[in-house]
Amino acid sequence: MTGMDWTDVRARVAALAAHPGGAEVFGGRLGHGWMLEPPLTAAELAEVEGQIGSELPGEYRSFLLQVSRGGAGRRRESRR
């Protein structure tokens, strides 16, 4: 694991969403609402790495485990 501190990422994304013009940035007009999916569990990350046959880079692994399983912009209504 890395020493990366991800503790304020969700708050920073929320601040961007609340900023005037936030809907115009990063495809916000598409309705993603600046949503972050929940983080992966350790078991889910292990499954992904097993499927690809490689360990992901440390900083990305810590992001996936501590912040979100993807970046802001995933639309919940499109998930099935």
User: For position 1, what pLDDT does the model report?
Assistant: 52
Report how many domains make up the chain.
1
Q: Does the residue 23 lie in any domain?
A: yes
- 50 or 28, which is more confident? 50
Task: Note the pTM of the prediction, 2 decimals.
Answer: 0.70
User: For position 59, what pLDDT does the model report?
Assistant: 93
The mean pLDDT value for 6-15 works out to: 87
Structure-derived torsion over alpha carbons of residues 11, 79, 24, 71, reported in degrees to the nearest 10? 40
Q: Does the residue 1 lie in any domain?
A: no
Burial of 26 (0-12, 13-18, 19+ CB in 10 A): middle
Structural domain for 41, as ranges: 9-78
Burial of 8 (0-12, 13-18, 19+ CB in 10 A): exposed
Cα(63)–Cα(10) distance, integer angstroms: 11
The model's pLDDT over 29-74, given as tens digits with 9 standing for 90+, comes to 556 667 788 999 999 999 999 999 999 999 999 999 999 998 776 5
